[in-house]
Every structure is written in structure tokens, then in C-alpha cells.
Amino acid sequence: MNKSSKSDTPSTRWKRLDVETALRAVLDGARSLTGAHYSLITTLDAAGRVDDHLVAGLDPGNVERLWQAPGGPAFFAYLNALPGPVRQTPGGQN
């Protein structure tokens, strides 16, 4: 995903690349099926905190601003703790 570990070897980077490619296809497919403008997958560390993310449909600058915003990582942790996907309907009603 976005971070690289000091323990990365060429073979682990290759495997992660395959996983990242597959997850990006999932993100794009989900957007296509639902008509969503963007999609997001977060990963958690061993303590359950947000560790990394993949986003489709937002430019890298906007993604970075979300992560750097006060409470940004906590917001993603909140979304991750929800029991199901979040969908916004036309007109703003969830």
C-alpha cells in the first residue's frame, strides 16, 4: 500500500504490489457498481489503529489533506469501526 517497511525484500514488495493492484481493482469496481465518486480501504495495525489506506476517485492532494486534517486518522478509524458500508443517497439523506 503506501508505506514500505524496512523489512521489505524484493519478493515481499512484489507480493504487496499484486495485493495493491487487486485492491485498486476492487475499489474501482465498487465505485462503478455503486456509482460512487470515490472509495476507500483502510488497513489496521496490530493494535487496531489505522495503519495505511488506498483511495480511488480522489486526487493525491485531497487524500493527503484528509489524512493531515485535525482528527483525520481518527475519522478513518471511526469509519472503519462502522458495522457496514457508508452510503450517501442523493439529497444528502443516509
Encode the chain (94 residues) as per-residue pLDDT tens digits: 555 555 666 666 666 668 888 899 999 999 999 888 888 887 778 987 778 888 999 999 988 888 888 888 788 778 778 888 777 666 655 4
Residue 24: which domain range?
A: 10-81
Residue 36 counted as domain residue:
yes
Place of cell 489505522: 50
In a domain, 3, yes or no: no
Q: Is residue 23 part of a domain?
A: yes
> Is the CB of residue 53 less than 8 Å from the CB of residue 76?
yes
Where would I find the H helices in the chain?
Answer: 10-34, 60-68, 72-81
Q: Does 91 map to a domain? A: no
CATH of the domain at 67: 3.30.450.40
C-alpha torsion sign, points 82, 76, 45, 5: positive
Flag whether 57 is in a domain: yes
Q: Does the predicted TM-score (pTM) go above 0.85?
A: no
Determine, yes or no, domain membership for 94.
no
Domains in the chain: how many in total? Answer: 1
Q: Determine the Cα–Cα distance for residues 57 and 74; give it in Å rounded to an integer.
A: 21
CA torsion 62-49-54-87 (nearest 10°) is -80
